[in-house]
Amino acid sequence: MDTAFLRPPLARNLVYDEFAVLHPTSYPFHTLRYLRCNPMYSRPLLTTSPASPSRGLTQRMAALPDVDDFFWEKDPTPILDTIDAPIHLKNLSSKELKQLADEVRSEIAFIMSRKCQPCGPGRSVVELTIAIHYVFNAPMDKILWDAGQHAYAHKILTGRRSQFHTIKQKNGLSGFTSRFESEYDPFGAGHGCNSLSAGLGMAVARDINGRKNRIVTVISNWTTMAGQVYEAMGHAGFLDSNMVVILNDSCHTLLPKADGRPKMSVNAFSSALSKIQSSKGFRRFREAAKGLAKWFGKGMHEFAAKVDEYARGMIGPHGATLFEELGLYYIGPIDGRNIDDLICVLKEVASLDSTGPVLVHVITGTESDTDGNIRSEITASEEGPSNSSNDLLKFLETGLSRTYNDCFVEALTAEAENDKRIVVVHGGMGMDRSLRLFQSRFPDRFFDLGIAEQHAVTFSAGLACGGLKPFCIIPSTFLQRAYDQIVEDVDMQKIPVRFAITNAGLVGSEGPTNSGPFDITFMSCLPNMIVMSPSNEDELIDMVATAAMIEDKPICFRYPRGAIVGTSGTLTYGNPLEIGKGEILVEGKEIAFLGYGEVVQRCLIARSLLSNFGIQATVANARFCKPLDIDLIRTLCQQHSFLITVEEGTVGGFGSHVSQFISLDGLLDGRIKWRPIVLPDRYIEHASLAEQLDLAGLTAHHIAATALTLLGRHRDALLLMK
């Protein structure tokens, strides 16, 4: 085979170790994008996977071009260059504001494309962001956002442009709004649906303290899937506090209309109507009419209210009366790309006092991540590769970028082929592309509920009570919101819901907002829950089969976000595991590592490092946190002087369960000394996954150094960490 094309000028070999785990962010800037845009690299890359005595220690090598300097020329931004704070927007003309929007959109695309990250949601709200800051006076006026990507333009316009290239990097800007980062961020955005509740609290505090500042919250149509939003709207309507709620409508829905009706659009009539609705004259006339109707008595007042509701319902968009019923004055829809209309309506809304909560419906639509021939890695993988690079993209997606999610969905799909009772319930923000395999294969057995995680858990319980086998797939960080339902609706009733907890542990650039360090602790304390975690993709496949087999109690398994350690690439059906049984992978003496989950791979690497110092350690794979393999733990304690438990979770998790058992069993009264390695008792800020593991003390070198320290070899431990 001719491999000359693998050696272009400036090419270099990239070896991905256990910490990079082939994560997409490990590639040089523009590598994937460069390869997509250059037909000469459309053929598959050669990879080597040398044999290794321990499964999972395989290294993969690929020749990729060094394209750090490959990029189009940055567009000039003369107006944006003059903006250091929102106050600088006030004197710009309408024409200059429109040019500024183009420059901000270009800036976001330029920075995010270098990071191979999507920027469509951030680019779609540029005009809305500019209009908000043009009309309102932050930071005195409080502007709250629900989603991190929607706040990109907000960050650029509030004095953080010079740091924007560091977003999601170690010691750089957060991918979300953060109270610790800027005075222009009054509240942190993370899981969505919290801005309205927080904004209402700020509005009430403002009223009690006698202040006059305005509260503006920006929510999205994704947010409106969460019940907390409607709870906050109902409360806002009841309190009648002054606040502005802006619904950023991207016209995206989880439940497309079966009749194929077009999505809501904005025309000249709706634009004119929105301006009338927001005008002082109309609002004052409406308030005067209410007062007059009250003067005539309760019956006339109720009749007038119904006439007002029906009239606004007939001329307004479908569903507008829902917000009116909750007590919010509805204005819209408004074209989210028309700065003049946005400013006109927002000025009218901001100029009125004692009007109660107002909801402004803005249609921003969707915007692709495409800028010329440049696409983000995520967008390209979802849209499908271009014809000129089909082979390479297929290799990158199924080879270098193969993830635990891919293996899980393939295994679940295989199980569902043989078991018609298996259904999938998905909760959380967005959906991993891997799940589309199951969705396309079994559309009637797949339910995507978005960020309605509480409903997802109880809905799954109902499916189980109806005789089905629900797999409830929710990222660890979003599962936290549904904990009450897990306790009351699932575990307490011993209903066999199967929880697949994705994005467990550290997640790199998404930071603490989207990381999942707590699920081991809060799931393993439940009396009826079976809690397990695979050490590699093969065990993940087995755990899917195990979960499908259990029908008398709930069960959960967690797996990380990154790429898999190593796989043959062929899917085999899983073999159900014996509940509560682990295994010893490599036997040694004096010191034993008992790992839970994917950290077992790092324990194996730590053992290899220790062998250089003449130490042969035992490595065991726990598999189960609950129930524990007590026979395995007793054996390790009786045959070793030191037992080290390792997990990518917080205090109170696997190690705490082990210590509880060995202390009650009297094993700590003998020669064994136990030490836990867990995540530190603090939030690990955004950085690369390797940097986060280093900050957390969970790399293979840290594990090996802990063993050396226990053995009294402090000098060797220091040498190892250099």
pLDDT at 75: 81
641 Cβ contact list (under 8 Å, min separation 6): 590, 591, 671, 672, 673
With a cut of 90, say whether residue 52 has pLDDT above it. no
Least confident of 231-240, 417-426, 701-710: 231-240
- Please compute the mean of the pLDDT values over residues 250-266 and round it to a whole number: 56
Average pLDDT of the chain to the nearest whole number? 78
Of residues 380 and 567, more confidence is placed in: 567
Query: Given this model, what pLDDT does residue 188 score?
Result: 85
Comparing 212-216, 236-240, 285-289, the range with the smallest average pLDDT is: 285-289
Determine the pLDDT at residue 93. Answer: 93
Q: Does domain 406-558 have CATH number 3.40.640.10?
A: no
Strand-pairing partners, residue 516, are: 505
pLDDT at 170 over 90: no
Higher pLDDT, 312 or 587: 587
Q: pLDDT tens for residues 503-539?
A: 999 998 888 888 899 999 999 999 999 999 999 999 9
> Mean pLDDT: which of 376-390, 553-567, 699-713 is highest?
699-713
The single-letter DSSP state of residue 487 is I
Mean pLDDT score, 432-439: 87
Segment 54-74 shows an average pLDDT of 40
Model confidence over 88-112: pLDDT tens digits?
A: 999 999 999 999 999 999 888 888 8
Confidence of residue 721 (pLDDT cuts 50, 70, 90): confident
Q: What is the pLDDT of residue 221?
A: 80
Q: Taking residues 58-77, report their average pLDDT.
A: 48
> Per residue in 529-570, pLDDT tens?
999 999 999 999 999 999 999 999 999 999 998 777 555 555
* The predicted structure's pLDDT at residue 63: 34
pLDDT of residue 18: 33
- Annotated domain spans of the chain: 80-252+303-363, 406-558, 583-721
How does strand 618-621 pair with strand 583-586?
antiparallel
Contact 498, 547 (CB under 8 A): yes
Average pLDDT over residues 133-154: 90
Residue 267's pLDDT band (cuts 50, 70, 90): low
Q: Taking 60 as the threshold, does the pLDDT of residue 611 lie above it?
A: yes
The answer for residues whose C-beta is within 8 angstroms of residue 365's C-beta and 6 or more apart is 124, 250, 251, 336, 337
Which residue did the predictor score with more confidence, 214 or 117?
214
More confidently predicted of 373 and 599: 599
- Give mean pLDDT, residues 390-410: 62
Question: Domain 583-721 maps to which CATH number in 3.40.50.920, 3.40.640.10, 2.40.160.10, 3.40.50.300?
Answer: 3.40.50.920
Q: How far apart are CA 426 and CA 656, in angstroms?
A: 30
pLDDT band at 38 (very low <50, low <70, confident <90, very high): very low
Contact 372, 25 (CB under 8 A): no
Residue 34 has pLDDT above 80, yes or no: no
The pLDDT of residue 65: 35
Of how many residues is the chain composed? 722
Superfamily of domain 80-252+303-363: Thiamin diphosphate (ThDP)-binding fold, Pyr/PP domains (3.40.50.970)
Does residue 644 register a pLDDT over 90? Answer: yes
**Residue range 223-228: mean pLDDT, rounded:** 78
pLDDT digits (tens, 9 = 90+) for 304-360: 555 555 555 555 565 667 887 888 888 878 888 999 999 999 998 888 776 789 999
| Assigned token pair, 235 | 């409360």
Among 34, 25, 4, 45, smallest CA distance to 396 is for: 45
Buried b / exposed e along 368-385 (16+ C-beta atoms within 10 A): ebebeebbbbbbbbeeeb
Tell me the β-bridge partners of 363.
249, 335
Minimum mean pLDDT range among 358-362, 390-394, 601-605: 390-394
80-252+303-363 matches 583-721 in fold: yes
Give residue 632's identity as a one-letter amino acid code.
L
Range scoring the smallest mean pLDDT among 70-79, 96-105, 110-119? 70-79
| 450 confidence band (pLDDT: 50, 70, 90) | confident
Q: What is the largest CA-CA distance in the chain?
A: 95
CB-based burial, 595-633: b 16+ in 10 Å, e otherwise = bbbbbbbbbbbbbbbbeeeebebbbbbbbbbbebbeebb
| pLDDT bucket at 50, cuts 50 / 70 / 90 | very low
Q: What is the DSSP string of 108-158?
A: HHHHHHHTT---HHHHHTHHHHHHHHHHS-TTTSEEEES-SGGGHHHHIII
pLDDT band at 588 (very low <50, low <70, confident <90, very high): very high
- Predicted local distance difference test score (pLDDT) of residue 24: 37
Which one-letter DSSP state was computed for residue 221?
T
Which residues on neighbouring strands pair with residue 591, listed in sequence order? Answer: 642
End-to-end CA distance of the chain: 42
Interacting residues of 616 by C-beta distance below 8 A, sequence separation 6+: 588, 589, 590, 607, 610
Q: Does the pLDDT value for residue 381 go beyond 50?
A: no
What is the pTM for the complete model shown? Answer: 0.73
Percent of the chain whose pLDDT exceeds 70: 73
Least-confidence region, from 181-185, 344-348, 350-354, 378-382: 378-382
What are the beta bridge partners of residue 500? 473, 557
> pLDDT tens across 279-290, in order?
555 556 556 655
Average pLDDT of span 141-169 = 89
674 forms beta bridges with 643
